[in-house]
Chains A and B, each alone.
Chain A
Amino acid sequence: MTLLVFIASLVGAMAIGVPVAFALMFCGVVLMWFMGMFNSQIIAQNMIIGADTFTLLAIPFFVLAGELMNSGGLSKRIIEFAIACVGHIRGGLGIVAIMAAVIMASISGSAAADTAALAAILIPMMARAGYNVPRSAGLIASGGIIAPVIPPSMAFIVFGVSANVSITQLFMAGIVPGLLMGLSLILTWQFVVRKDNIQPLPKAPMSARLNATGRAAWALGMPVIILGGIKAGVVTPTEAAVIAAFYALFVGMFIYRELKPRDLPRVILQAAKTTAVIMFLVCAALVSAWLITAANIPTEITGYIEPLIDRPKLLMFAIMILVLIVGTALDLTPSILILTPVLMPIIKQAGIDPIYFGVMFVMNCCIGLITPPVGVVLNVVSGVGRVPLGKVTVGILPFLLAQTALLMLLVLFPELITVPAQWLR
């Protein structure tokens, strides 16, 4: 019954257009009232304590690093580097898009920002080369959603904090699935363009390729610093985030000289607003999470799904379907924040590795970014690439299927995530 009150109040408020953060607060108020323990201090206290967490400080810094990466010309150098490497292969620009997406994913955590940067440069190029434009846009959008799976990732930080799981371990466990996402996209792309008659780009001479690599070297240094630093244990994720931000600032200002001091306030303000939107949501979710726990809702759910507890793969499958459905309508961060407090106790009881679950969950929520009707990354690619939303939705289908198939493959073979995660720990 409490579960029903929780779902009805939350979904009802969201449906009439209340922003998710306020809807979560509303659902908290309704739950308190229903449980006969209304107290305004529950709202006030849980809201603010949520932001007072050192681990979450990684969020603004990674957001800042991503903004600086795009404003400072690092994205452009990465794409040029990818063209120099694989542009001449059949279907080359598609492979360029994915290669660049993976490299950018290892610097930034924002699917929308990465997609925007890729779409702005690559969609016009792909159109000129004669590729089907909606399909190219679809590929770039599905490449963009790799960003939150490969570290650094705001999604992993938010999940890690609300599920109380090590963020370092989540980061390390995300690398291989992120690469698999890229691989599945390249394979699908090569399959769908096999009959298109497109001249690949001419192979650039060795000197030009070395030049592009040299120019990109400073940008390519960033993933090395972030991942290397965390992996070698030199820094915590929060520290890696702040180092990444200063490194991107330095490279953008003094090496590539595309970032002017007068741009800085705008970039920092944008990062602050993005941070505030994510964090306000995190804080509001802590209010409802506290009440979900106090009301023992996870226990209620466990009662309903009792038979699945002993069948972890079936349970994972069921949860993945649920998350896919939720993801059609809800953005990445809200999905994580709303579902984690409900699902995590069940995951623990079923004996599923929380790190494995976290990676699968985040990957699944990322797929939600490219499913209609609400798919933020679809909107980005449609806006930046000037392709109608309806056409992108069709163009993305093969890649959406590939990502979903990969997800299901990982349900069947969790070892694909857990074994490499062990190596990389």
Chain B
Amino acid sequence: MQKAIDRFYKVLEFLLIILLSGMAVMVFVNVVMRYAMNSGLTVSDELARYFFVWVTFIGAVVSFREHGHMGVETLVALFGRKGRVICMAVSNVVIIGVSAIFFWGTWKQFPINWSMSAPVTGLSMGFVYGIGFFTGAGCVIIALERLIRLLTGRVTEEELAAFAGENMSLEHLAERS
């Protein structure tokens, strides 16, 4: 099971690399074309924007799994183990709540986005706005799994330390400024 999950995140990471590279190449080629040949592909500007949306919302789930989202740990860091466990539980309940609302809103709005097409590519905006399903569901599942482990006492010390903002890697610090 764990292996399958890890492989799934490897696929997501691969997707992120492809999307970001794709964005960079499209915008770069457009700049070159615009100055070298005095013409540009309007398609690539639009597509790059949609890649950007996907990078943001796929990357948000990947980062959430790695405790990568910025938080204010000042108060939590002052607490002992018990206090941290309580805060982490409540915090995950909040995350489940808002992510579920995000998913639900995406669902309710899907028909009107599906029927709208992008100005240049004509792509249905359902593909762009539908990413809310992935991110909403992804965050709910991760937070729910954490909550269950918290309530059944199976949470690791590393996770609690990460929640309190301890032992942050340089990559995590770089994401914050």
Residues on A close to B: CB < 8 A? 13-23, 25-26, 29, 39-45, 47-48, 51-54, 56-57, 60-61, 64, 110-113, 116, 148, 234-235, 238-239, 242-243, 245-246, 265, 268-281, 283, 329-334, 369, 373-374, 376-377, 379-380, 383-384
- Evaluate contact between A269 and B72: CB separation under 8 angstroms: no
Inter-chain CA distance A276–B53, complex, in Å, is 9
Inter-chain CA distance A330–B35, complex, in Å, is 42
Q: Which of B85-140 contact A (CB under 8 A)?
A: 87-88, 90-91, 94-95, 97-99, 101-102, 104-106, 108-109, 128-129, 131-132, 139
Inter-chain CA distance A56–B49, complex, in Å, is 9
Q: A17-B87, A47-B132, A270-B174 are in contact. List 8 more A-B contacts (CB 8 A).
A: A43-B102, A52-B53, A246-B24, A276-B62, A277-B176, A279-B52, A374-B73, A383-B170
Instruction: Tell me the count of chain B residues lying within 8 A, CB to CB, of chain A.
Output: 68
Inter-chain CA distance A245–B13, complex, in Å, is 20
- Evaluate contact between A20 and B69: CB separation under 8 angstroms: yes
Contact among A25, A275, A376 with B59 in the assembled complex (CB-CB below 8 Å): A275
- Evaluate contact between A331 and B98: CB separation under 8 angstroms: no
List of A residues within 8 angstroms of B173 by Cβ: 112, 116, 376, 379-380, 383
* SS of A interface (majority): helix
CB-CB nearest in chain B for A111: B177
- Contact flag A25-B177 (CB < 8 Å), given A40-B108, A374-B73: no
- Contact flag A272-B95 (CB < 8 Å), given A111-B177, A374-B72: no
List of A residues within 8 angstroms of B49 by Cβ: 52-54, 57
A–B complex contacts, Cβ < 8 Å, 22 sampled: A20-B72, A25-B102, A26-B94, A29-B101, A40-B102, A44-B105, A44-B132, A45-B105, A51-B53, A52-B52, A53-B49, A57-B27, A242-B27, A243-B28, A272-B17, A276-B57, A277-B175, A279-B59, A280-B56, A280-B57, A280-B69, A330-B72
Residues on B close to A: CB < 8 A? 13, 16-17, 19-21, 23-24, 27-28, 31, 35, 45, 48-50, 52-53, 55-60, 62-64, 66, 68-76, 87-88, 90-91, 94-95, 97-99, 101-102, 104-106, 108-109, 128-129, 131-132, 139, 163-164, 168, 170-171, 173-177
List of B residues within 8 angstroms of A40 by Cβ: 101-102, 104-105, 108
CB-CB nearest in chain B for A145: B177
List of B residues within 8 angstroms of A245 by Cβ: 24, 28
Contact among B69, B72, B91 with A277 in the assembled complex (CB-CB below 8 Å): B69
Residue with the greatest number of chain A CB neighbours at <10 A, chosen from B23, B71, B76: B71
List of A residues within 8 angstroms of B17 by Cβ: 265, 268-269, 272
